Amino acid sequence: MENETIGLVVRSSGRTGVLHQLTGVIARHEGDITTVEIIDNWPAEARTYFEVVIAGDPGVLVEDLRKLEIVRSVEMVKTFQRIYGKRIIIMGGGAQVGQVSIGAISEADRHNIRGEHISVDTIPLVGEQKLADAVRAVARLPRAKALVLAGSLMGGDIEAAVREVRQQGLLVISLNMAGSVPEAADLVVTDPVQAGVMAVMAVADTAKFTVERLKRRVF
Amino acid sequence: MENETIGLVVRSSGRTGVLHQLTGVIARHEGDITTVEIIDNWPAEARTYFEVVIAGDPGVLVEDLRKLEIVRSVEMVKTFQRIYGKRIIIMGGGAQVGQVSIGAISEADRHNIRGEHISVDTIPLVGEQKLADAVRAVARLPRAKALVLAGSLMGGDIEAAVREVRQQGLLVISLNMAGSVPEAADLVVTDPVQAGVMAVMAVADTAKFTVERLKRRVF
């Protein structure tokens, strides 16, 4: 039987140790957990979402989860990967983030129609430390593939954070702006709409666009 | 000692059962796990991110995690809640999603400057079933507070999905459009930029705007 990724929503009583019990059952079935979300965690009830790669019959795993005393229901659902897919993250000043998002959303629309799954996530932020923290946190976000830095001036610790997340495999596109961030990015783009479009093209399997094959790094 | 939410990145060997072992240590310390992300899960290495509410000294928990044979390093980091905060989700047709995002991003910028943490996440999608699936999945997304449906025609199973997620406490704003979705939403807004602004105002603690207190439901 081929390995299959399944999505499970487990409703249980809510208390410390819920996740430990649930993951114990999944480990016994040699299920490989690729995603977990704590949807709710109240004293009265917890809802936990898992994506699990499993070789055998998922029905047996579901039955064994239901046998736990704390579990009230287990429901199989579609996975986030199938619904929201790859994520482009855009952060910086509101004016520029908005323009980059217009380009990225329009381009994602064109690829999603052809079977891709790309979503565009944004956060407007001010301040060197807040931006540097947010850049570093992108490396911990599930399914994040590319980051666009949209602003007029970024440098200092933001530049250091950009170099760190690039080392962890993230593609970083910077608007052409003041400060040292453009020097640290994979790609520098002057037009914010084009920056958003290029970010999507770079991660879409339906696009013929490879950053490594570009002859210029600044547009 | 007051309860504190801490962020932890744990690097370990990667294999089935990692999460079960890590959550066992956290449960022993009566840590309440509010967020988990599987950052990487390769045979050679896994990286797992936790947000844990803990009453005692987090240093002792960190030390006990380090004692596990599978664990290579444990790092304390800032939490997603402190960085990306509440999420507004916008989905539908690319043209409208882009315009709603402009409004939402500009408005989030104004509130984030005053100490709020609001991010704006979007996905352009076509088709009744894909949209209905994506609407239902919002209820499983961490920190999602409001959903804006941005399109020209939405009904059928999307309407059913909207009623389901509203019951789970999500605020749903619909553009004024053809189909039955506007009837099922909390609020109907004609101008897409205003729809984005209102979505952010509704979830921002820095705004004086309460959907329940509005005398009209359609704008």
Quick check: B36 contacting A, CB < 8 Å? yes
At B149, list the tokens. Answer: 């449906």
Instruction: Report the distance separating Cα B186 and Cα B39, nearest Å.
Output: 35
Distances (CA, A) of A197 to A186, B120, B189: 15, 18, 28
Q: In chain A, which residues have their Cβ closer than 8 Å to the Cβ of B84?
A: 123, 134, 137
pLDDT of residue A120: 97
pLDDT of residue A14: 82
Which of B92, B38, B33, B63 shows the shortest CA–CA distance to A80?
B38
Dihedral of alpha carbons B209, B214, B217, B219, sign:
negative
A215 to chain B, closest Cα gap in Å: 30
Quick check: A205 contacting B, CB < 8 Å? no
Q: Please give the angle made by the CA atoms of A45, A141 and B100, to the nearest 5 degrees.
A: 90
A55 to chain B, closest Cα gap in Å: 12
- Other C-beta atoms within 10 Å of A143: how many? 15
In the predicted model, residues of chain A with pLDDT beneath 50 are: 1
CB contact under 8 A, A139 and B19: no
Q: What's the rounded mean pLDDT across residues B166-177?
A: 96
Quick check: A11 contacting B, CB < 8 Å? no
Half-sphere exposure of B74 (CA within 13 A, CB side): 22
CB contact under 8 A, A37 and B141: yes
pLDDT of residue B2: 62
The string of pLDDT tens digits covering residues B29-43 is 989 898 898 888 788
Q: What is the pTM of this model?
A: 0.88
Task: ipTM value, please give it.
Answer: 0.86
Give the pLDDT band (50/70/90) at residue B163: very high
The string of pLDDT tens digits covering residues B109-160 is 999 999 999 999 999 999 999 999 999 999 888 889 999 999 999 999 999 9
Instruction: Report the distance separating Cα B165 and Cα B134, nearest Å.
Output: 11
Give the pLDDT band (50/70/90) at residue B56: confident
Q: In chain A, which residues have their Cβ closer than 8 Å to the Cβ of B9?
A: 140
The string of pLDDT tens digits covering residues B67-98 is 999 999 999 988 888 888 999 999 999 999 99
pLDDT of residue A2: 62
Which of A68, A66, A56 shows the shortest CA–CA distance to A29?
A56
- The answer on pLDDT for B1 being more than 60 is no
User: Which residues 67-96 of chain A have a CB within 8 Å of chain B?
Assistant: 77-78, 80, 83-84, 93-95
A40 to chain B, closest Cα gap in Å: 8
Could you tell me if B200 and B213 are in contact, meaning their C-beta atoms sit under 8 angstroms apart?
no
Q: How much is the mean pLDDT over chain B?
A: 93
Half-sphere exposure of A62 (CA within 13 A, CB side): 14
Helix, strand, or coil here: B30?
Answer: coil
**Which among A78, A97, A109 has CB closest to B105?**
A97
